[in-house]
Each structure stands twice: as structure tokens, then as C-alpha cells.
Amino acid sequence: MDMTYGVTDNAYYTHGTPAERWERARLFFDAKDYTAAARVLGGLVEEVPEQTGPRLLLARAYYHSAQLRRAEAELRFIVEHDPVEHYARMMLGRTLERQGRTEEARAHVRIASALAGDFPDD
């Protein structure tokens, strides 16, 4: 049977249980292969959209692979569903900063710092 590269390639990223794919995505991420991690995580997030962990790692993979609009979309989803998720809010602020949206970013960074208990020494 002659399979095209795309079909075989896609099967690799979608093969296995959610737990196996989560582990595979983490291995790719730890190896700094952010694009491959995002490919695995994209399908996983579709399957378990309510879980923050895979979505946050997907946002981080997008951020590190300079897919900033995609990172922003995932982070906004997390923050809308869990407003006190301080790490997602901090990442959203950093993502907006990288896009040159400093004013918008500043509010998210301040809220994240407050949620984490980081207050300036005034």
C-alpha cells in the first residue's frame, strides 16, 4: 500500500491514547521541537477542550514557534474560562508584547502579578 507523506505523517501525530499523545507532545516540547509539539497538542485540545494543561502547552508551543496569533487565541480561551489562571494571563501579556501591543499587554501582566502575589515594594 502506497501512503502519501501527509497521511503517514499525520498518523504519527494522532496515534495513541490521549495520555500517550500528551507524553509525546511534552517530549517534543522539551526537545524544543515546538512545531511538532503543536501538531500533537492541536488534536488533543480538540478532544479535551476543557483541560487547561494541553491548551496551555499548545499556547506555549505556538509562542516559541512565533505563531503569536494562535498563541493569543489559546491563551484568551484559557483566561476567559479561568480568569485566575495567572500563568496563562502572564503568557498572554508576553504574547501581546511580542506583537507590539504593549498597552494591552500591560493590564494582563499586572493582573498576573497580582494573582501570583507579586506586588511592587513601594
Contacts of 51 (CB under 8 A, 6+ apart): 45
Distance CA 121, CA 14 (A): 48
More confident call, 11 vs 30: 30
**Architecture per CATH, 5-116:** Alpha Horseshoe (1.25)
Comparing CA positions, the residue from 110, 39, 24 lying closest to residue 70 is 39
pLDDT surpasses 50 at 14: yes
Task: Supply the pTM of this predicted model.
Answer: 0.84
| Domain spans of the chain, in order of start | 5-116
Mean pLDDT over 32-59 rounds to 95
- pLDDT reported for residue 38: 96
pLDDT range class, residue 121, cuts 50, 70, 90? low
pLDDT surpasses 60 at 68: yes
Distance CA 33, CA 27 (A): 9
- pLDDT reported for residue 15: 83
- pLDDT reported for residue 4: 41
Mean pLDDT over 41-51 rounds to 92
